[in-house]
Amino acid sequence: MSALRWGRGASGLRRVLWRAGRPGLLAEEGARSGVWGRRRSLSASPCEQDRQKDWGHAELLEVLEARVRQLQAECVSEVTVKRVGQARLPEAAGFQPRRKAQKGGEGTGRWAQKLDQDRWTLQGRKQRLEVKPQVRAQQPACEHRLRRVPQLLSAPLAERLLRWEQGTPRSPWEEQLERLLQEAPRKLSCEAEQAHQSRGASVRLETQQQRLLAFLECCLLSGHLPLAHHVLVTCHGRWRQRRTLTLAMYNTVMLGWAREGSFKELVYVFFMVKDAGLTPDLLSYAAALQCMGRLDQGARTVQRCLDQMAQDGLQLPEIFTSVPLCPEEQAALLQAVRKAQPAFSPPPRPQPEPQVNTSPLLREIYAQEDPVSYPKLHLPLHKLKALFQQQLRVEMATTVSVESVEKPELLTTEVLQARNTLTRLRAVWVEALCAGLQEMKASEARAARAGRPTLFPYLCLLTEEELAQLLLQTLQVLPPQGESLLSLAQQLGLRVFNRHAVQKQQLRHVQALQQRYYQYLHLLASDTQVAVPCLPRQYWETLGAPEAPHEQPWPLPVLVQLGKQLAEMLVEVVRMPGSLAAPQGSCTLIPVLYHVYSFRSFRQIGILKPHPAFTQLLATAAEHTLTFEAAEVPMLCPPVPWTSPYTGAFLLSPTKLMRSLEGTTQHQRLLDSCPPAELHGALDALTQLGNCAWRVNGRVLDLVLELFTAKGCPRLGVPAPPSEAPRPPEGRLPPGASPAQKAELRRELARCLKVAREMHSLRSDALYRLSLAQHLRHRVFWLPHNMDFRGRTYPCPPHFNHLGSDLARALLEFAQGRPLGPDGLDWLKIHLVNLTGLKKHEPLRARLLFANEVMEDILDSADRPMTGRKWWMEVDEPWQALACCMEIARAVRAPDPAAYVSHFPVHQDGSCNGLQHYAALGRDSIGAASVNLLPSDVPQDVYSGVAAQVEVFRKQDARRGVRVAQVLEGFISRKVVKQTVMTVVYGVTRYGGRLQIERRLRELSTFPQEFVWEASHYLVRQVFNSLQEMFSGTRAIQHWLTESARLIAHAGSAVEWVTPLGIPIIQPYHRDSKVLISGGIQTLTFSNSGDTSQKPNTLKQKNGFPPNFIHSLDSSHMMLTALHCHRRGLTFVSVHDCFWTHAADVEVMNQVCREQFVRLHSQPILHDLSRFLMNRFCSGASLRSPVHSKSMLIDKLQDTLKSVPKTGAFDLEQVKNSTYFFS
């Protein structure tokens, strides 16, 4: 598979769907068999509707016959209607000729003739309908014979193939291949070439190509090579579809036949390659030679092939070094080559030369001469090997069953009965789903045999039982309010792909992975040493050749279509008794899932909603297990180091280095084109973050579970159960209720529904987190990381990590402890005060004194959290504060606090980090002082400073008689302006800022609400004016970035840049292109806005550039800090601009953090950005605008990019002495 997918280069996956009608286009809604195969619906299909319509006509015919008999009885006229027997059709499928009605009266004769004619016509249709199922049943399973011989467009090639096929005796196939290889590629006509080139630039064409290639590859994986050949031959024989075929598709099928040793079929594909005007490449020759080796062909035949290969400019050694083939394929290929060249020895696969990152920021990280003290894990080698085996078993099983913390107090008869009912129903559902899936496969196979790429090979990658279990797991976790069909379809498609990818990895790489991983553990284990200390990535790369990359996901339309059909299978097949209390078999079956429509944000969307009876059954059963995908759970062993954009994190489960929306490909393309050494900084930082070992804080977990299993405590972040949701008003409105009363009732119902949905979502999220925490309570685990398109890092497991709320963070602590040392206890106390939010404006010494003053409350909170004075409940971050109280209590009660081994993570937060980066970029002294870049005795609060400046403006306006300024007297506070100030740096507009301030004003009970709208308009204007006054350099840089992005987007390109650590960035904001998937219970339409072939969204590009650029800088700062902390032996993790380490190491981390910030901003960041954008976007080839406007756009863009904002006089070195830069 790797030879197929990567032999053609990483072209990426475009996510646009085929449209309807002809082969290669999406089937019309309602089509029974199209590109996507059988239409699934609860309503009758068109054929069924036609049949019902004809039977209805037959019933009408019987009524008319009765009327004729009535007329005869009344002697109006003598009419004889000949009876048409319902005999079977003759084998020739012809009808007996109708006989004319006997003549009677003139008027009734016409009636009789018309009646006879209609009756004959309808009877014929009825007989055809009766015979059609019988004929279909008698047909063999293969409705269309699979084609092997291609239909060629080139007359000479077609004549040669025909002459060879009919000739006697036939020339050997190897001679035929020799002639084909010598034939020059047939040139397409000029018109065809132009058409091909114009279509090649379209999203539609590339999507068709990717979908067809994925179909062919899946056919090979699922053992349906003849079907892949048949579809390729069919497409090649149709001119419109031939233009979508690429050499990679022909090579895919050729390689399949080579593995089978089928030389004849391989030659057929070579005929098509030459007929398409293509030139064979290395992979084509590798397939031919491999097939010759398997068939033990003679030396003369092999030598001719090698000679032709040389004439085509291809070198034989390159096949062994450049074409990714498995060892068995290479052995067959080598056997063929040695027939002609016995002395040939394949060159060793070139080991990639050790590339060194040249970034000046990373020079110290990769310096060999400087001493290092890389940290080791606290676990011995044998323990880590056992943990690897546990994780391997988890990933090979693809799912993890976790005991739920939400259990019934007593296993009553009702609970046991509900569980037994679910067990019986699931057994029935699995059987029904397996039967339905078999039928679906048969239908898709018939469509594929007609020459169309369908879902058939994708459905064959997993067994029916595996697919059925996957569907039932999906049904289990559907919320009561349902889920959109589109979202559900995409999830199902991705899960099928992920399970297939894991199975593929099991078959090929598990043994080699185990051997390599065991060697890698010598670097990490506490009881082993390596010869030369190095980074995990570097050591992993020395242990063997680069791994084959994980398989890339299928095109998004394929994922959605596959998931859609599986979801519709759930709707159609899964049923339950309408009344579970009724005797079995005595009541009708009802669908467990219903398809309904609902309005979400003024858009009508289709939702799959579970039946209330099923929801109630699940609630009553209160099952004790939850099922998660393996990649959704923290790892039980250290993650695999990131070594490339494709390999890292989980052992088998595919993981993206750069997370993005499904359907976007430009990020992967940039990473593919980036020199490997340029990514080393990011790869090593992500590996270091993932190598931090964690454990669960058991005492905090017990307290949270106590509240969770009771009624919850929303004030402390523990969601309440659904039983606590507000109830809608009971009773009905009186008959004469006014429209206003009815509207009020509707609003109240909508409010109750909204609150219930939110409560269910929060409860489910907490249930997953707490169940996983309980599952991992006595284990060590790891959180592998990846990054978003800006370089910001995130843990891969979504439900249980340190990026969550206060409650989620309090549940985690470092698995590896460090003695507190002389200052560790003081840092614990300062950290506790920071968590309370009570002394934000006080110096560190005052915070430490405050902690000592409230030591009684701290110890009381630690000893009696639920029964004592509950001091911890009144602070900003209650659960983290409680966990810190417990840690302090254990430390102060230890015989030697300095020797106490602490596992507690201490945080250091940036002070409005976005403004810190802006102030450093512009060397803005005033702004730097406001965000603590300058040393000071007390922390500066930029939010209070902005509020004070706004108050100055308000007083001036009040004196001038401005009414709203007078109303706002006494109401301008830090809290009112904080959110707007915080988000201005990240691109919030005045409109968004006004909404933020409006919400804060509405929270003030004493503020006159009739002035909220006017006051919010006034305040947002003054906040922006204050920021302009205080951060003039910041606003200038922001404007320059915005204007540059606007011009680039207007020229037709998405904004790109490279971070100081070398990560390529592109903004994924493009104009939406609608993708339509019709048929089934609903036509799905979704937007695809993430590909470079689409026009950029100018508004999003320009508004997103400033905040995204700053995010890329803060991620660079974090990664530099992480790498240098690792070099010094520290444990380090982060939540964006919040850095965590042990209490004993806070001072070292603070020093590293400041040093790396200064080093980062000592680089000419804005000038480097200007040069990059000039080179990238100021050439005519890079612009997509009309020709007549190119020079104008280039001139304006060049002028803008050259006018880099001037910087101030702020000295960056002062940051190193700023206590409150991060605190």
pLDDT of residue 379: 94
Which carries the bigger pLDDT value, residue 346 or residue 506?
A: 346
Contact partners, residue 1206, CB within 8 Å, separation at least 6? 1036
For the chain, what percent of residues have pLDDT higher than 90? 42
Q: How confident is the model at residue 905 (pLDDT cuts 50, 70, 90)?
A: very high
Query: Given pLDDT bands bounded at 50, 70 and 90, which one contains residue 1222?
Result: very high
Taking only the tens place, the pLDDT of each residue in 1139-1155 is: 999 999 999 999 999 99
Q: Rounded to the nearest 10 degrees, how much is the dihedral formed by the CA atoms of 228, 234, 238, 243?
A: 10
Strands 625-629 and 399-403: antiparallel
Q: Give φ, ψ of 312 to 5 degrees.
A: -80, 5
Per-residue pLDDT reduced to its tens digit, 41-61:
333 444 444 444 444 455 455
More confident residue, 64 or 1146: 1146
Mean pLDDT of 637-660: 91
Eight-class DSSP state of 222? T
In the residue annotation, 1137 being an active-site residue is answered as yes
CB 1149 within 8 A of CB 1125: yes
pLDDT value, residue 9? 32
Radius of gyration over every alpha carbon of the chain, rounded to an integer in angstroms = 36
Q: What confidence score (pLDDT) does residue 413 get? A: 87
With cut-offs at 50, 70 and 90, classify the pLDDT of residue 181.
low
Tens digit of each residue's pLDDT (9 = 90 or more) over 820-879: 999 999 999 999 999 998 888 899 999 999 999 999 999 999 999 999 999 999 999 999
Active-site residue 863, yes or no? no
pLDDT in tens, 594-623: 998 887 766 788 889 999 889 889 888 888
Count CB atoms within 10 A of the CB of residue 739: 7
952-986 per-position pLDDT tens digit = 999 999 999 889 999 898 888 888 888 888 887 77
Residue 1065: strand, helix, or coil: strand
User: Which segments of 837-973 does DSSP mark as H helices, in order?
Assistant: 844-853, 855-863, 878-892, 913-922, 925-930, 942-959, 963-967
Q: Residue range 405-410: average pLDDT?
A: 78
CA 670 distance to own-chain centroid:
18
Q: Which residues, other chains included, contact 527 with Cβ-Cβ below 8 Å and sequence gap of 6+?
A: 380, 381
1139 contacts 685 by C-beta, under 8 angstroms: no
Catalytic residue among 909, 955, 1095, 1196: 909
Helix/strand/coil for 632: helix
Whose CA is closest to 968, among 943, 950, 982?
950
User: 406 Cβ partners below 8 Å, 6+ apart?
Assistant: 622, 708, 709, 767, 771
How is residue 1184 written in tokens?
Answer: 């997509």
CA distance 675 to 668: 13
Buried b / exposed e across 105-127, counting CB within 10 Å, b at 16+?
A: eeebbebbeebbeebbebbebbb
Q: Exposed/middle/buried for 669, CB within 10 Å: 0-12, 13-18, 19+?
A: middle
Catalytic residue among 829, 978, 1100, 1102: 978
| pLDDT at residue 140 is higher than 60 | no
What pLDDT is attached to residue 1088?
A: 65
* Residue 116 annotated to the active site: no
Instruction: Tell me the C-alpha distance between 163 and 166, whole Å.
Output: 5
How many C-beta atoms lie closer than 10 Å to residue 158's C-beta? 15
User: Strand pairing partners for 577?
Assistant: 589
For residues 448 and 461, what is the distance between their CA atoms, to the nearest angstrom?
16
